[in-house]
Amino acid sequence: MKIVGDSEHFKQPYDIDEDYVSSKTTDKRDSEAVQKVGMELVSLSKTQLDKIELDEFLYDAILQTRKIKVNTEAYRRHMQYIGKLMRNFDIEPIKASLAIVLNKNNNETAKLQMFEKMRERLLTQGDDEIQTLVEHYPQLDRQKLRTLVRQATKELAKGPESKSSKELFKYLRSEIQD
């Protein structure tokens, strides 16, 4: 009988390549990461959830989670079920969509704050700020801006509420799409 020194010769079909072996700890971490994404999905509103492409079963499971009381054993088990469903999918596109949906609200808030600051500058600086704004946003109607600023300034001198100030804000928000 001849013994061959090459270990590849003795490899059995059930031998596992060491590059593909993952430990229980790694599997648990991956599972917990997927479950965290699931928790973020559960926290979204229905309109936000509709903007993310999800599997039908996963979508239904997320909606059913809202019927379960939080901090109960049933809720915990259901979250684990969502995590189990998500393990079958590539979660990177879901994470990307989730980031876009969550950041969109921050972007909307930032835009509203930007329009508020524009309106305040228009009311305090007047024609100089109108000129600067029209140069930066040529789609704005200079005459309409002047009229709204003049009316808002008069109304604010009489009291804290100003219908023209609100109209000015709405006009800026509707015309500036940046």
CATH of the domain at 37: 1.10.60
Our separate counts of H helices and E strands in the chain read 8, 0
Pairwise CA distance, residues 79 & 27, whole Å: 17
Q: Other C-beta atoms within 10 Å of 169: how many?
A: 20
What tokens were used for 3?
């013994």
Q: Is residue 2 part of a domain?
A: no
How would residue 178 be classed by pLDDT, with cut points 50, 70 and 90? low
Q: Is residue 14 part of a domain?
A: no
Any idea what the CATH number is for the domain that residue 166 is in?
1.10.60.30
pLDDT recorded at residue 3 = 46
The last residue of one of the domains, among 60, 89, 118, is: 89
Q: Is a pLDDT exceeding 60 seen at residue 113?
A: yes
Same domain for 171 and 111: yes
pLDDT recorded at residue 14 = 54
Same domain for 117 and 59: no
Q: Is residue 5 part of a domain?
A: no
Q: Which of 93, 92, 96, 64 is nearest to 79 (CA)?
A: 64
What tokens were used for 104?
């969109």
Same domain for 159 and 116: yes
Pairwise CA distance, residues 97 & 100, whole Å: 5
pTM: 0.48
**Count of domains for the chain:** 2
Full residue range of the structural domain in which residue 55 is found:
24-89
Same domain for 166 and 118: yes
Q: Is a pLDDT exceeding 60 seen at residue 103?
A: yes
Mean pLDDT within 27-32: 80
